[in-house]
Structure 1
Amino acid sequence: MKIVIAGAGVVGESLCSELSAEGNDVILIEKEEKILNKIVENYDITGLVGNGASYETLLEAGTDTADIFIAATESDELNIISSIVAKKIGTKFTIARVRNPEYSSNMQFVRKELGISFMINPELEAAKSIANKLMFPFALSVENFFGQRAGFISIKVEKDSFLNGMQLKQLEFNPKDKVIICTVRRGENIFIPSGDFTILEGDIVHIAGSKESVHKFYDKIEKSNLKINSALLVGGGTISHYLIGKLLENRINVKVIENNKERAEKLSEAYPKAIVIRGDEADQEFLMQERISNYDATAVLTDSDEENAVITMFVNSITNSKLITKMSRTLLIPMLEKNTRTSAVVPKKVISDMIISVVRSKANMRGSTMSFLYRIENQVEFITFEINENSNAIDIPLKDLKIKKGMLIASILRNGKMIFPGGSDVIKCNDSVMVVTTASSIEDFDDILE
């Protein structure tokens, strides 16, 4: 496919890397020539110096014949304008990154009236991710799929866990409470386990199921039943704006510390039920005065990765609360995760994965449409496909399907009902199917077949 990208920031570079590696014809527009040249040298793409909202620049980039246009600059307004222009001159599908809450509240109007095919908000998606993590305080990651009907979590197996030393085939469930262990990470290796696989202490297991069954299984593993009743947000930026509302909806008491007067006042006006304190987020004495150790959870969300890392290490040293840290880049994450209990959230990676999912779905016109994509360290992908009548897997018992190694059909959603399939189950037209795979560049459900 021909894909034009405007903006050579972290998201733009990530998209260039992955989309070009998957064989797409990628053209990158960037006004800073030095930045553009660096990316063009590293990846198999074409570069064009210019303004992504300029009619002439978009024409020169060939946007009029492009399959997809992605606006990923740092400016919401530029992204919206460039997507509108690209659509008007002939691009089939347009994607715009939009972060401002004022625009996000009108996404449906903007999409319908202005013709932008897909709008994505990294801060909103990050807030959703953080809110999910706080529902499972001991989980390493939490995601929803099948339109929020189902979810999966990752848990580290402790020495005293009932999972330690257990073969998967020994797990017993009531049919309505069944979950599936999709993957197991042991050291540097990731396995898609069979029934004979034995779970050991230190393994990180990824568990999928209906939201209710995942909750029950989580409570069985984590017998402490810790609930998050209070949360301290260090930094009052856009993520905090979205996150406060979600936490208050879940009846969690919220305090926010923000140094900027204007930001603090806006949050206080928008959320009168939250406590907003103006002060230096990096001042350790001030954080102690605000009783940071008394909160069940702390989310470190300032605009600086370096400041977030320092604050995270300080909070980690004085409290056992659930700790979540926002990172704009991935450079510091291994150090933080090795030396603290934090769970890192990278908004730009979240939306990069979402855009890749959309692009792959548009590339595929054969047997299915990709509707969800989640990655684990670029080693495992969790993908949901909407099956149509062209698939070669329809009405064939799963035991008779020749599925490639490193692939697992984890679950099926049919008419609103979750199915954890056995060998006699079949896939029907219009099913939503969750696939777990260690392969990359899977675009169609039938790609898992030999």
Structure 2
Amino acid sequence: MFQKTNKQPSGGLKIIIVGCGKVGSTLLEELSKEGHELSIIDQRSERIMEMTNMYDILGICGNGASYSVQKEAGIENADLVIAVTDSDELNLLCCTIAKRVGNCATIARVRTPDYSKEVGYLRDKLGLAMIINPELEAAKEASHVLFLPTALEVNSFAHGQAEMVKFKVPAGNELIDMSIAHLGRHITNEILICAVEREGEVYIPSGNFILREGDVVSFVSNRKVAREFLHKIGFETRRVKNCLIVGGGRAAYYLAKELLRGGIRVTIIERDFKRCEELSVQLPKAVVINGDGTDKELLKEAGIEEAEAFVALTGIDEENILLTLHAKKVSNAKVVTKINRITFTEVIDNLDLGSVIYPKYITSEAIIAYVRARKASKCSNVETLYHMFNHRVEAIEFKAQEESAVTNIAFKDMHLKKDLLVACIARKGSVIIPSGDDCILPGDTVMIVTRHTGFNELTDIMA
């Protein structure tokens, strides 16, 4: 059984998505905006009906690992197959069959820790373009924040050489009523403030932009300078010493493992006894408590009032939100909240939940970066992509492969699009915050922050 709608106009890639859960539907939403020809496969007819009613796509109800189903979805002419069902084994099988019957690239979602240890082997032996693990990536994002707890977000670029750090300007801070130009002259010129959110509006600021109390600011610099800058303007920059995690799923395992490796004490509360036993074996240095994480007395006994960090990682968004609000009320902990659904982002933004992590966004951004790289010319390549401020701003990392219309020209002589900044350049191990006299050279990694969407290559920055 299948539902079919009119095909999208050509120009994009022909992509088959297997699995229409949270990640699959998010990918469908994002990739449809970018003009690709999409087919979806799912065993639930109601999901197929729902998606084909919303988007101009081909929808097929069936087993994504079936040759006949893949053929019906257009595997012989597909450019890319993305398997994001709930089963790691099914995802790997879908990709293996797709590689055998079609001349296409394949991406699989693989979440099980046992497989995650073998990512390189699986990718090479099965010929996968990418293996993506939402829980592992969410844990990495959470750990970055806990290693720099005054930040709301910390994202890495240029293989860790550069960081984009988001923070909120608190009452009484010296940045209030200061222009960005003054900050550069009198505090540091080794960072670049590339985006500011104020009262629901997002700005790509110029030097004349005046910072205010409550502004949510994103800046780019190398890792050392980021910490020096935050310390200089009065923020605490040391990592947390201990962390209380509620929820013992895969994300909790990955996060605890990362924190323990960094010398941070970890306590996990999980209501499933069998899972507690598994975690105790997998994480012998962690304290694992069997109980209901929403029990206030249990949270108190587990040390929530003294915790320096609190991370809500249950599978229920509402539970995570309430846990975080409770933690903020009874402690001074740095809080991190995992949100799976994104229907009420405006409400969530107003709840002051600290650092909020969306695993399915992390997954979709990595895949979209790969898709854009496939569309780009040989002159440049999309390396990474981050959506900022509820998808109103994109931070894109390009690799300048060879000479093009944007290389060897000083930025002051370039005609760049409005609402766009060249945030940093990574060159031979150094991070450059560019001035008007700087230019892009072949081999550079270049980070662009823009309110425009859909950039596939570096030359898209030109007006």
Shorter-chain-normalised TM-score: which range? over 0.9
CA distance in 1, matches of 2:188, 2:278: 45
Aligned in 2, Cα 1:390/1:34: closer, same or farther, shift over 3 Å? Answer: farther
Whether 1:396 and 2:405 are equivalent positions in the alignment is no
Q: Distance in 1 between matches of 2:287 and 2:193?
A: 40
CA offsets 1:245-266 (integer angstroms, 9 cap, x no match)? 1111221111111111121111
Distance 2:418 2:113 in 1: 44
Please tell me whether the aligned partners of residues 6 and 29 of structure 1 are also in contact (alpha carbons under 8 angstroms).
yes
CA distance in 1, matches of 2:439, 2:316: 50
Measured in 2, the distance between the counterparts of 1:366 and 1:198 equals 40
Match of 1:311 in 2: 323
Deviation of 1:306 (Å): 2.4
| Match status 1:14 vs 2:14 | no
Within the candidate set 295, 312, 333, 2:307 is matched to 295
Residue 143 (structure 1) shift: 0.7
Note the alpha carbon deviations across 1:121-148, whole angstroms, 9 max, x for none. 0000000000011122121211111101
Aligned to 1:157: 169
Contact 1:316 1:340 in 2 (8 A): no
Amino acid paired to 2:412:
K
How many residue pairs align between the two structures?
A: 450
1:30 to partner: Cα distance: 1.2
Give the equivalent residue in structure 1 for 2:155: 143
Task: String of CA shifts for 1:235-292, please: whole Å, max 9, x gaps.
Answer: 1110111111111122111111111112111111122111111111121222122221
| Equivalent in the alignment of 1:78 | 90
Q: Structure 2: any 5+ residue segments left out of the alignment? A: 1-12
Which one of 199, 209, 220 corresponds to residue 187 of structure 1?
Answer: 199
The Cα of 1:369 is off from its aligned counterpart by 0.5
Residue matched to 1:441: 454
Contact 1:65 1:91 in 2 (8 A): yes
Task: Give the equivalent residue in structure 1 for 2:438.
Answer: 425
Structure 2 Cα separation of the partners of residues 93 and 301 of structure 1: 33
Distance apart, 1:175 and its partner CA? 11
Q: 1:346 aligns with which of 358, 363, 370?
A: 358
- The equivalent residue for 1:232 is 244
C-alpha deviations, 1:300-336, integer Å up to 9, x for none? 1112222222322322221121111111112355444
Match of 1:50 in 2: 62
In structure 1, the partner of 2:278 is 266
Change (3 A) 1:411 1:92: same
SS of the residue aligned with 1:280? coil
Matched, 1:243 2:258: no
TM norm structure 1: 0.96
For the structure 1 residues 439 and 177, does the alpha-carbon distance in structure 2 shift closer, same or farther, using more than 3 Å as the test?
closer
SS of equivalent to 2:305:
helix
CA–CA distance in structure 2, aligned partners of residues 437 and 81 of structure 1: 38
TM score, norm. by length of structure 2: 0.94
Note the residue ranges of structure 1 that are not aligned, 5 or more in a row.
none
Structure 1 counterpart of 2:416, which letter? I
Q: Distance in 1 between matches of 2:131 and 2:185?
A: 40
Residue 19 of structure 1 aligns with an amino acid whose one-letter code is L
CA contact (8 A) 1:233 1:300 kept: yes
Report the Cα distance in structure 2 between the residues aligned to 1:401 and 1:298, rounded to whole angstroms.
46
Question: Equivalents in 2 of 1:424, 1:339: separation in Å?
Answer: 43
Q: 1:170 pairs with 179, 182, 191, which one?
A: 182
Q: Distance in 1 between matches of 2:109 and 2:23?
A: 10
Contact 2:230–2:237 (CA under 8 A) maintained in structure 1:
no
- Pick from 219, 233, 258 the counterpart of residue 221 of structure 1: 233
1:56-80 Cα shifts (integer Å, max 9, x gaps): 1111111122111100111111101
Q: Distance in 2 between matches of 1:38 and 1:132?
A: 37
Partner secondary structure for residue 147 of structure 1: helix
Q: Conserved in 2, the CA contact under 8 Å of 1:16 and 1:45? A: no
Residue of structure 2 equivalent to 1:92 = 104
Partner deviation per Cα, 1:392-443 (whole Å, 9 max, x = no partner): 1111111111101111111111111111111121211111100011001111
Q: Distance in 2 between matches of 1:174 and 1:185?
A: 23
Q: Is the 8 A contact 1:373 1:381 kept in 2?
A: yes
| Structure 2 residue matching 1:339: 3-state secondary structure | coil
| Match status 1:358 vs 2:341 | no
Task: Indicate conservation of the 8 Å contact 2:183/2:189, yes or no.
Answer: no
